[in-house]
Amino acid sequence: MRQVSTRLGDLDCHVVDALPEGAMPSLAVVLCHGFGAPGTDLVALAPELASLAPRLAESVRFVFPAAPLTLAEFGMPAGRAWFHLPPELLMGQQRDWTRFTQEVPPGMPAARRAVMNTVSALSAATKLPYGRIVLGGFSQGAMVTTDVSLRLEEAPAGLSILSGTLTAEPEWRTRAAARKGLPVFQAHGRYDPVLPFQEAERLRDLLVESGLAVEFLPFDGPHTIASEEMERLAAFLVARL
Percentage of the chain beyond pLDDT 90 is 85
Per-residue pLDDT for 92 more than 70?
A: no
pLDDT band at 89 (very low <50, low <70, confident <90, very high): low
Give per-residue pLDDT as tens, 133-173. Answer: 999 999 999 999 999 999 999 999 999 999 999 999 999 99
pLDDT band at 87 (very low <50, low <70, confident <90, very high): low
Q: What is the pLDDT of residue 96?
A: 75
Q: What is the pLDDT of residue 84?
A: 87
Q: What is the pLDDT of residue 51?
A: 97
Give per-residue pLDDT as tens, 21-38. Answer: 888 999 999 999 999 999
pLDDT band at 42 (very low <50, low <70, confident <90, very high): very high
What's the whole-number mean pLDDT along residues 68-97? 79
Task: Indicate the pairing of strand 133-138 with strand 76-81.
Answer: unpaired
Q: What is the pLDDT of residue 129?
A: 98
pLDDT band at 184 (very low <50, low <70, confident <90, very high): very high
Q: Identity (one letter) of the amino acid at 72?
A: A
For the chain, give the mean pLDDT.
94
Nearest to 196 by CA among 234, 163, 241, 237: 163
Q: What is the pLDDT of residue 75?
A: 84
Per-residue pLDDT for 90 more than 80?
A: no
Percentage of the chain beyond pLDDT 70 is 96
93 or 14, which is more confident = 14
231 or 96, which is more confident = 231
pLDDT band at 74 (very low <50, low <70, confident <90, very high): confident
Domains in the chain with CATH codes: 2-240 (3.40.50.1820)
Q: What is the pLDDT of residue 214?
A: 98
Per-residue pLDDT for 72 more than 90?
A: no
Per-residue pLDDT for 101 more than 60?
A: yes
